[in-house]
Amino acid sequence: MTSLPVPGVAPVLRGDGVLLSAWEEADLPAIVELADVEGVRWSRSLAGVRSVADARRWLAGRSGPDRVDWAVRDPATRGLIGRTSLHRIVEGLPSGEVGYGVHPAHRRRGVAAAAVGTVLPWAFAELGLRRVELVHDVANAASCRVATRCGFALEGTERSALGYPDGRVADQHRHARLATDPPGPLDVPRPTGVEPVEISAGQWHLRPPSADDAADALAMIRDPLTVRFNPVPDVVDLAGARAWCERGADWSDGTHATFAVLDATTGRLAGNVSLWQVDLRARTASVGYRTAPWARGRGAATAALGAVSRWGFASLGLERIELPHAVDNAASCRVADKCGFAAEGTRRGGYRDDDGSREDEHVHARLATD
């Protein structure tokens, strides 16, 4: 197949909170920041970008007759907040593939979906494409969410189709959107909510939170160690704690399964553990936990993490559960090790404090096959 004619310079496109334009020399330092642990994890092209010189070489390779590459900017400041491209543009269907990445300081704010949503109308109207594909590592749950928000249908899983520079090979999801598809997310089958359950774990009992837990939950949330490593800044009084417990008990959207951890003898709250960022389609989740100060040193976190992980693998069909924590939180490292979560590395600036500073995180993970 031959390539379709594409513009030599990326056209300026304006979308929902994003401005797409050509790359500039001033973007080079921000490109280096794009290549953090998370960025390199999912983007093969960014591997090896560690300096401005590396970024310049990377940028030089982002042009050609079969691609258009954009810097994604904040419309107000023109600062770089991400990148997106339309590549592998060929005649035939005609078709192309969309790719993207988000600057670490702007992740989880809808930048990727906004950028992709801006590229699609241009690709269909101006280039005359009939089909745009979006492929990603099956473990990249965030990309599944971007695809769904932008109306891409999941067409299947391709086994061992994605190779990485370090030799890793992964399965990938293939999504696609057609020019004839209706606006908005497509009406395709999606996993439903998670059914609440209770789990017995020796001297601990796990169940969905209850409004009756509010007083102990507030005391746990206000504890200095909890504030340091796992804060809940919007909970400042009993009413807020009650609302927090009620949100934790609602598993209907399928994105989390949150448990109150109770002393099985006294019934008092000892902590909580939550599977979050649950993606039933990608079969992945993250996990986090808190221990009330009056229950520390009794193994509550280890027992709860082990029980919830086993349940997630067996009942939800999860294949990977990731456990991130602040590098200074040595206790969480010990809990992760005891529960078989392998240390995979340090995510630089992976956690943002309330004061705006960023902290490094340790990343552990356990697979269903471990």
Q: Lowest-confidence range among 99-113, 138-152, 297-311?
A: 138-152
**Which value, in Å, is the radius of gyration of the alpha carbons in the chain?**
22
pTM over 0.75: no
Q: What band does 17 get if pLDDT is binned at 50, 70 and 90?
A: very high
Q: What band does 38 get if pLDDT is binned at 50, 70 and 90?
A: confident
| Alpha-carbon gap, residue 173 to 188, rounded angstroms | 15
Q: What is the pLDDT of residue 100?
A: 96
| Alpha-carbon gap, residue 334 to 314, rounded angstroms | 24
Q: List, in order, residues 6 or more apart from 271 with CB less than 8 Å away.
A: 220, 260, 261, 289, 290, 291, 292, 295, 300, 301, 304
Cα-to-chain-centroid distance, residue 117: 18
Q: What band does 157 get if pLDDT is binned at 50, 70 and 90?
A: confident
The secondary structure of residue 10, as a DSSP letter, is P
Structural domains of the chain ordered from first start: 13-178 (3.40.630.30), 199-367 (3.40.630.30)
Average pLDDT of 260-268? Answer: 96
| Alpha-carbon gap, residue 362 to 370, rounded angstroms | 19
Residue appearing with tokens 């004619």: 5
Q: What is the pLDDT of residue 138?
A: 79
Work out the mean pLDDT of the chain and round it to a whole number: 89
Paired strand residues for 132: 96, 177
